[in-house]
Amino acid sequence: MATSEEYQAKAADALVQLAAATSEAERIRLRRAHSAYTKLSTHDEEAAVRAAMTMAPRIKPEKITPSAQAANRLGSFTIK
């Protein structure tokens, strides 16, 4: 697996090749390659930032036991 330094070197090499490119198709290919290498070089940093972010805990409703539910239903019907 390549490191970010290797991807940065490939991106720099793509820029050098882009300066020497003669056809438009080659320029497009090298611009895309440079963009991809740049994105890959920052991937580790972005992954670390995403891993550091934690989601807020979900709010869960309290679970009521079936016997408590039955008592709540029967609570309005009191026998005197």
Tens digits of per-residue pLDDT, 12-49? 999 999 999 999 999 999 999 999 989 888 887 777 77
**Both tokens of residue 79?**
């026998």
Instruction: Give domain status of residue 60, yes or no.
Output: no
Q: How far is CA 14 from the centre of its chain?
A: 27
Q: Model confidence at 57, in pLDDT bands (50, 70, 90)? A: confident
Instruction: Give domain status of residue 46, yes or no.
Output: yes
- Total number of domains constituting the chain: 1
Per the structure, the complete domain to which residue 12 belongs is given by: 4-55
pLDDT on residue 2: 67
**Both tokens of residue 1?**
């697996």
Long-range contacts at 56-64 (CB < 8 A, ≥ 24 apart): none
As a whole number of angstroms, the distance between CA 78 and CA 10 comes to 80
0.75 cut: is pTM over it? no
